[in-house]
Structure formats: structure tokens, C-alpha cells
Copies of this chain bind each other. A is one copy, B any other.
Amino acid sequence: MNANADAEAATARFQIGEVADRTGVTQRTLRFYEEKGLLRPPERMDGGFRLYSENDVTRIGYIKQLQDLLGFTLSEIKDMVEAEDLLQQMSATRRPDRELPERLQRSEQILGALTKQLDVVEHKVEHLTLLREELRAKMTRVTQRRTEILNALEQEQAVSEL
């Protein structure tokens, strides 16, 4: 029953500086991400200072990962986190007061987004896997050559020791 109690309750908030320190992303970049729709606008203090949640921090890490490790562009990442947002909203907003058709449409929309993403990811996986196999094949070829050479060297060694 306190489903949205812990959503709103005493979860810690951080100012931008701290978030920057913790995530290794500059303040400037955090604002930039917000501007680009990668981060939902965080809460603000009365004076206008941004207040990030733990969740936001996690998200920033996620973004970095997608970017650095997987080479997605920011706009691709935007699509991903947007779907993520919808998803969270859907789960959080368990309001049966909404019209059912509306909620249905919502679900389909999210499904669509997810499907598109999955497509992209699966294609990438497929191609990368292929590439990996090629690389492995090459490696074994080279390794073989190398052992041949090593053997030849041993031979030489043996001969010279006579």
C-alpha cells in the first residue's frame, strides 16, 4: 500500500556538484544531457538548484556505459532511456482510474520502442559475433605460423650445437 510512499519518501538527493564528482561527468555535461532529453529534469530546490535522486545517478552511469562501452550515440541513448522512463511511469503509475484503452495504447507504444531497440541490439550482437569468429580464426592461423617458426628455430639451435 505504500507503493508510492517509498517513491516519494526519504530518498537522498544530491546537488549537481556531488553528482558530478560521483559519476565523473562534469556539471556542464549533466546540464547538457538534461537539455538533450537524456536525463529527466530533476527536482529543484526553492532557489532553483538541481536535486538528483539516487536513481538519476544510476541512470547517468547507464548512459556512460551505453556510450563508452557500446558506442551508442546520444540520440540512440535518448530513445533507450525514454522507453525506460515510460516503463517506470507505467509501473509506478498503477492507477486503474485511467481509461483502459489509454493504458493499452501506452503499452503498445512502449512495446514498439523496446522492439526497435532490441532489433538494433540483436543486429549488433550478430555482426559482432561474426567478427569475433573471424578474429579468432585469424588468431589461430597466426599462432600456428608462430609455432612453426619456433620449431624451425629449435632445429637451427640443435644443428648449431653439434
Residues of A within 8 A of B (CB): 65-66, 69-72, 83, 87, 90, 100-101, 103-104, 107-108, 110-111, 114-115, 117-118, 121-125, 127-129, 131-132, 135-136, 138-139, 141-143, 145-146, 149-150, 152-153, 156
Contacts and interface: CB of A to CB of B under 8 A. Distances in A.
A121 B131 contact: yes
Copies of this chain, tallied across the complex: 2
Nearest to A150: B104
Contact of A124 (B69, B104, B145, B156): B69
Given A87-B138, A125-B128, A129-B125, A149 B100 contact: yes
Contacts of A149: 100, 103-104, 107
